[in-house]
Homo-oligomer: A and B are copies of this chain.
């Protein structure tokens, strides 16, 4: 083969079939896309072993993508049901599935995903380490962790979240700085816990070069995890978060030297007024590597509604340069999401991503909105449903409460008071009956 990763190919001036497909889907020039890949500003997460993949590009100048977390757990260990959830998430528009399985024999499900699921697959190998070896955390060795990264790469995972950015220094910093929420990243806390118990350095930091070799071999994109992402507004943009970001910038550079593709993960909980600044800082410190944001949640007080707090923060983040949004469900902070939570989370994230794409002027992003406006002006309900992000729900709400009398071109919100009806009649010179 003439190249290792998509980044390597791009740097060698090679247009790969994956680049052609992404350029076509995004309606951008192939050569321009190649240039962005070479610079690291766009990634195509595509493990060489993920053969059924329909690839997507991730980068701030492309459509904003969304990720859905799924996976078998102690509470939900039926592989078939989980696979149905995955395919339904793909149907609803998820561009990535992170398999966060944390129970039983995780490999068969991961391999099934890679065989059958056409969207990019991500994992967090440190979760799987404890499960894979069925040994408690403190008994694992650095080599054990790296071997699980290799296993996931061989299995065909397209991107892995690795919490490489915390070091032994972070332990002291967290103790000294007295954050309100310390570390709320699940993977980050496992690394921290292992380091605390063993006294050793973070294996994902210490053996980063070995990891880069693995990722280069299979073309696995590294998603640099933000262990110190703020877990509450009070911790946002503090020294722990920013120091880790600086480390992630250094690790981005080292990965690029190995032609390994990189995304950088970001906050977290954050007041609205800090989001744009965070996107700018990430762009400079991490040299434009695609930013993958978790939220940001713009208030801490809305458990049960964090898909909304995340949609507000995610829309602002994406409009200011984030490329990839991790969905948040209404069950966040409370429980394992059920099927309905997953749906609500996906739709809220899609709304945020789409609103941001319009705001940042992604070509064609507003076309579907303009189509909806025409359908609304014409009171053409079937056309409205066809433009809707969730046609079934929209139709069921309208049908559940039919318009009064026989004015079936309006809805029960306004009936004959409908502004669209009145204006259409007025502009056509017709008599407008309201009573």
Contact = CB atoms under 8 A, between A and B. Distances in A.
Interface of A: 73-75, 102, 127, 130, 134-138, 174-175, 180-186, 188-190, 192-193, 196-197, 231-235, 271-273, 298-305, 307-309, 311-312, 315-316, 319, 330-338, 347-348, 351-352, 354-356, 358-361, 366, 368-370, 372-374, 376-377, 384, 387-390, 393-394, 397-398, 400-401, 404, 411-415, 417-420, 422-427, 429, 431-435
A397 B74 contact: no
A272 B319 contact: yes
Interface centre among A352, A358, A361, A397 (most CB of B within 10 A): A397
Nearest to A272: B359
A100 B267 CA distance: 42
Contacts of A389: 301-302, 304-305
Contacts of A75: 401, 404, 412
B434 A190 contact: yes
B356 A419 contact: no
B186 A414 contact: yes
A370 B186 contact: no
B351 A302 contact: yes
A369 B185 contact: no
A301 B197 CA distance: 51
B299 A369 contact: yes
The 3 A-B pairs with the shortest beta carbon distances in the complex, nearest first, are A232-B373, A189-B419, A272-B359
Given A136-B435, A305-B347, A374-B180, A298 B426 contact: no
Given A102-B417, A401-B335, A372 B308 contact: no
B305 A372 contact: no
A388 B135 CA distance: 37
Given A311-B311, A404-B74, A432 B138 contact: yes
A183 B338 contact: no
Contacts of A197: 426, 431-432
Nearest to A404: B74
19 contacts: A75-B412, A184-B419, A197-B426, A197-B431, A233-B358, A271-B366, A272-B356, A273-B359, A298-B358, A300-B372, A301-B389, A303-B384, A303-B397, A304-B388, A304-B389, A311-B311, A311-B312, A312-B352, A333-B384
A336 B301 CA distance: 29
